[in-house]
Each structure stands twice: as C-alpha cells, then as structure tokens.
Amino acid sequence: MADCVKRYNIYAPTQSNIGLEYDIIDDNNIQDIIYNTPKTASPLKLFYLPVKENVVKETNLKLVNIIIGAPSCDLAALDILDEIYLNEPFIDPFYKKRRENSIIIGTDCYSIEENCHCNVYDVKAIPEKNHDILLSFIDERIFLSINSDKGSTLLKNIRDFADVVTMTEDLKNLIESKRETVASALKKQNRKIPAYSETGNIINESDDAIWKEFSRTCVSCGACSTICPTCTCFLLVDRSGFEKIRQMDACQFPGFARIAAGEDNLGERHVRFKNRYLCKYVWKPQKFKSLACTGCGRCIDTCIGGISKNKLFIELANQVTA
Amino acid sequence: MHNIYKPIKATVKKIIDESPLIKTFVLKPEQKFSFKTGEFIELTMDGIGEAPFTPSSSPLDTEKIEVTIMKTGYVTDRLHEISAGQKLGIRGPFGRGYPLEKFYEKEVVILGGGCGFAPIRSLMHNLIAERSKIVKVTLCYGAKTPEDCIYEPFVEEVRSIEKFKVLRSVDKADETWKEKEGVVTVLLDDIEVDIKNSVAVVCGPPIMMKFGTLKLLEMGYQEEDIYLSMEKNMSCGLGKCGHCMMGDYFVCKDGPVFSYNEIKDYPGIWM
C-alpha cells in the first residue's frame, strides 16, 4: 500500500466527522482504512460526476485513481450512469475519461445498516459487476479476487510488494458464513418493503393525499438526489470563454422544470416530491435496462425532513391491498 | 473525441426587429452547420447562458441560419441587447424534427401562434421547395395584436405561391387590421380542407397548442396526424440532464416534435 500511494491516487473509506467517507490515502492514514463496512456517505457516482466540472476545457487527469471500498449498491448503480452518459451518439467525454481512468476495488459488506435495502431490488451485498477487484479483509489480511483485465494488471504491478499467500478453505468458509449472515439479516430487516417490480404499480395506483402527507416535511433541499448513486440530473452553467460547468442538479429544486413564459408543471412541492418517485420507479424502468434505485438507503439517512421512502412504499403497498 | 458540450462559434450578421418583443438573429456559423426542419439548437451567449431555439430559416440554405427569439427571461433579455458582429455559440442540431415524408400527397394545415411561427417558417421553406409533392398548405397564424404579427414579408411571399394559403387573426384588432379577430382557432372554421387526407402541425404557446389540438380532434383529425412541437426547460439538449423529461420521454431527444398519439396520456404536456 505504501508503495501504491506514490504511484496512484488511492481513495478508501475512513472514519470522518460525518461517518464513513472516502479519503485520499497517504503514508499517514493507511492504518485508518475501514474495510467491508457499508457504505460511505458519498456515493461512488461523485468520482465520475463531481458536483461541478468544467466540461469545455480539457482536463489533465495525470494519476490513475484506485477507489477501494465500493459497495455493491454503488457498483450496481454505475449501470444506469453508463447507460445515460455513454450512450451513442452523445458520449460524455469527461465521464468516459474518469471511468477509464479509475480502478475500482469493490468490497462486500460484512454488516448492514438500518436503511440498507439492496436485496429488495435484487442487488446482493456482494459486488457482482462493475468492479476490477473484489477485496475481503479478514484475519488481518487482505484477500483479492480479480474481476477484470484492469484488476489483473494492477495486481501484476504490485505483486512484488506484497506477501502473497493463498486462500485457505477455513478462511473461504469464514467469508461465506459472513455473507450468509448478511443476506439473512437483510432479508429479515426488509421483509415488508415492496419489490422493485411492484413499486411502479403501487405508485400509479396512489392518490394525491399520500404524497402530500409524506412531503409535508420536505424542504426541497435536494440532498436525496445529490447523495443518490443513481440520480444524475445536472445543469450547464455558462462561464465566459464559451466554457460550461456541468453542475449536479435536482428535480427537487423549485424551477427545475420552469419554462421561459413561467409555466411550471413541477411548481408545487408535493408534485416535485412525487415526480422523483415516478421518475425512478415508473419512467426510468420503462426507458432503461438498468436499475434506477439500488436500495442503498442514503436518501433515508440524509433527509432532513426525516422522510423514509421505505415507509412510503410500505404504506403505498398497504393502500393497494386494502 | 468530439465534445458534446463545446459550442461552435457563429457571428451575428444582422438583427431584424419582428415585433416589440421578438427579434430574428441571422447567424453565420464558423464551421459547416446544417439542420433539418423542427430540430433545434442550443444557443450560447458567452458567459450569460444557453437556451434552446428552433431555427426559422430554410434548412436548404447552408450559408446562414436564423433564430427568432422572444424577449422573455434572463438569457433572451440579454440577447435582445446585442448588436451585429457579436459572436454566439451553437450546439446541435438536436432532436427529432418534422417528418416531411408524412406530409407528401397530403393537405397540410399549420396552426401557429406568436413566436411559434419560427419553426413553422423553416417547415414551410421545405414545403415550398417540395410543393410538387404536397396537395396544398393552409397556414392559420394568430398573434395578440397586429404589431405582434411577425414575418410580414414572408407571409406576402407565401400568399403569392400556388397551393399555399395564409389566414391570420389577432386577439385584439385595430383600425388597420383587415383580417380576422379572435383567437387563432377561429381560423379553423374557415379552412377548406379534406380532413381525411390532411395532416396538422401545431406550434405556439402551450395553452394555444392545447386548444388547437382539441379543436383539430373535434374536426375529425386522427391523433397520429397532429404534429406538435413540445416545449420544456432544457439544459443539455441531448438526453442527459433530465430537465426536459416528460414521462419517459426526453423531449430534447425523443422530440421536440411528437404526434399527438405519442404523448396524449403523458403528464405535463400542456404544462
């Protein structure tokens, strides 16, 4: 690791004053890295879609980024980001470069948090896609499972600096049992939450009252959209020299849909609130192959109005069956 | 790799005052640029902002493009202050334009309001060029007052072309106005069209498009034969930023031209 930090930009989760968060690793904080714990406050998406980025001036990304500790929910979320930002004929060259310039080391979660509900959307707590290496920290050692050519190349480059041992049967079983424990815990914790395939339906069946009720404490701060690994809306802000800054935006902000003459079909807050659910659970599933929600639960963690989408969906499902 | 966010530059060659609130900007792009009728561009005013406009010039003219702009907000207020010689930025062309082949062998009825005449004028240039393939074209155009009517020279020119007819109305007439008074849909009472062999194009403020469409349906038009140019808040213009979403459509990519059957059950179509 000490050698790697000289040759790459390495980001890994460490404890910060807002909880677990990606920090850049240097010689001083290697021992502070926390492995196999869900999930950092910031989603993986912010490495690829930073809050502000100049999209006219060419960037000089010198060092390759290694991102350690990407959880399965964030990795599954990359599918829809790729589907939107890399689709022909309008490929976003800045997003593309950042994706190509990073090596992702995923970790599976050996514990769960109260709002984690990846399993409800068929996302396992074990990374299954979009990562180059899978890392398990067990028995004071790091075990790596290669998942791509990029991962294999990295390992070749660092092999000389590591004490390489092979995985034993015992350790393998230990990892398996941790994974099973997590899977059962998720299943039990989230047993009442409706599955992804049902959510579109229960939203379409709903009336206005439940949306007004649940959005009562919403202040349109947009935190849910900013922190969401699958939300990608942005605004292009002009700078002189015909430059443009791509700035992450949120449909929760007033004026998101307002047109020049002043008409605004998302003018009312409860309408904006419902609109985000329609977008993620009805319209995006019609339009894209990828999941528009991977059940990470950050929106619930972050909402300053204390709104829980899991509670909302359970309530919506009850209304339909009632 | 082509940068989808970087505009090409265009010089403002001339600015035409169309009405108290509307100006046409004649632009000469610094690189080769072409568009199809109904497609739009994102026009950048350096350091100020960017907004979507459907060019109003003929798509067949490769030397220049014209954009007709109403003064109605942050960017357009400042665009109205510029002079010829200034450089603007263009990204595009974007979107799905008018399907010209659907208009062949048909009677085309066009309902336009206010600044909605802009995309219509570019469409009409195409129809004029291909008039041997069109049965006839009737344009019904409406504005608030006589001085809000735009493209007077173009209207006169079109009236002299065989197969083309232009009917106009204003909400509030004055002594000089010789044509009809009332909202633009009143003109539909006066058209002589074989509706069974007709397609309709509607373009203007959302409320006008709503009532225009409803009247055309009443008159017997099929939902798939009414073409609308939908208006939404746009930023990227290319199906990523999410501002123009209308149900599961990106209006900038799946539209802005839609046939009514494609959007009739969608939320927020009339704002």
Q: Does the residue B189 lie in any domain? A: yes
B64 and B24 share a domain?
A: yes
CATH of the domain at B170: 3.40.50.80
Name which of A62, A60, A49 is nearest A92 in CA terms.
Answer: A49
Determine the average pLDDT of the residues in A169-191: 92
* Contact residues on chain B for A236, CB-CB shorter than 8 A: 5, 50, 235-236, 241
Report the residue from A55, A238, A264 with minimal CB separation from B49: A238
Categorize the per-residue pLDDT at B110 as very low, low, confident or very high, splitting at 50, 70 and 90: very high
Of B3, B89, B233, which has the smallest distance from its Cβ to A259's Cβ? B233
CB nearest B247 (choices: A234, A241, A283): A283
Mean pLDDT of A45-71: 88
Check residue A26 and give its pLDDT. 87
Question: Is pLDDT above 90 for A31?
Answer: no
Question: Residue B22 CB: number of other CB atoms within 10 A?
Answer: 24
pLDDT average, residue stretch B232-255: 95
Residues B85 and B188 in one domain: no
Q: How confident is the model at residue A159 (pLDDT cuts 50, 70, 90)?
A: confident
C-alpha distances in angstroms, A89 versus A79, A100, A107, A233? 18, 18, 34, 19
User: Which of A57, A228, A238, A288 to substitute to test the interface with B, most B CBs within 10 Å?
Assistant: A238
Per-residue pLDDT averaged across B122-134, rounded? 96
What is the tally of structural domains in chain B?
2
Task: State pLDDT tens for residues A102-114.
Answer: 999 999 999 999 9
B67 belongs to a structural domain: yes
First to last CA, chain B: 37
- Confidence check: pLDDT of A146 > 90: no
Give the closest residue to B15 by CA, choosing from B28, B1, B4.
Answer: B28
Residues B81 and B175 in one domain: no
Task: Clarify whether residues B67 and B43 are in a common domain.
Answer: yes
What pLDDT sits at residue A151? 87
How large is the angle between the packed helices A309-321 and A196-204, nearest 10 degrees?
Answer: 70
Given a cut of 90, whether residue B65 has pLDDT beyond it is yes
Instruction: Pick the last residue of a domain from B46, B73, B94.
Output: B94
Which pLDDT score, from 0 to 100, does residue A147 have? 86
Among residues B94, B118, B140, the one where a domain terminates is: B94
Given a cut of 80, whether residue B134 has pLDDT beyond it is yes
**Residue of B3, B5, B43 to mutate, interface with A, max A Cβ within 10 Å:** B5
Does residue B149 sit in the same domain as residue B174?
yes
Average pLDDT, chain B: 95
Q: Tell me, yes or no, whether B270 lies in a domain.
A: no
Q: Residue B201 has what pLDDT?
A: 97
Taking a C-beta distance cutoff of 8 angstroms, is the pair A230, A298 a contact? no
Nearest CA in chain B to A240: B47
| Higher per-residue pLDDT: A232 or A140 | A232
Percent of chain B with pLDDT over 90: 96
pLDDT of residue A161 exceeding 70: no
B271 and A263: CB-CB below 8 Å? yes
Q: Is the pLDDT of residue A24 over 80?
A: yes
- Both B171 and B104 in one domain: the answer is yes
Pair (B138, B67) in one structural domain = no
Q: Are residues B105 and B166 in the same domain?
A: yes
pLDDT at A28: 86
| Residue count (chain B) | 271
Q: Quick check: A152 pLDDT over 80?
A: yes
The pLDDT value recorded for residue A6 is: 73
Are B40 and B87 found together in one domain?
yes
Size of interface A-B (CB pairs under 8 A): 106
Q: Is the pLDDT of residue B14 over 80?
A: yes
Strands B180-181 and B164-170: parallel
**Beta-carbon separation of A287 and B205 below 8 A:** no
CATH label of the domain that carries residue B58: 2.40.30.10
* Residue A306 pLDDT exceeds 90: yes
pLDDT at residue B239, as a whole number: 95
- Are the CB atoms for B65 and B99 separated by under 8 Å? no
**CB contact B115 to A (< 8 Å):** no
Domain carrying residue B174: 100-229
Distance of CA A48 to the CA centre of its chain: 11
Q: What is the mean pLDDT of residues A25-46?
A: 90
For A235, the closest of B44, B70, B241 (CB atoms) is B241
- Do B131 and B225 fall within a single domain? yes
φ, ψ at B142 (rounded to 5°): -135, 150
Q: What's the pLDDT band for B179 if we cut at 50, 70, 90?
A: very high
pLDDT tens, position by position, B245-271: 999 999 999 999 999 999 999 988 987
Tens digit of pLDDT for each residue in A207-255?
999 999 999 999 999 999 999 999 999 999 999 999 999 999 999 999 9
The pLDDT score that the predictor gives to residue A275 is: 96
Q: Where are the domains of chain A?
A: 4-189, 196-321
The model's confidence at residue A61, banded by pLDDT at 50, 70 and 90, is: low
pLDDT at B100 over 70: yes
- Mean of the per-residue pLDDT values of chain A: 91
* Chain A residues with beta carbon closer than 8 angstroms to that of B80: none
What's residue B182's pLDDT? Answer: 94
Same domain, B190 and B129: yes
Same domain, B35 and B120: no
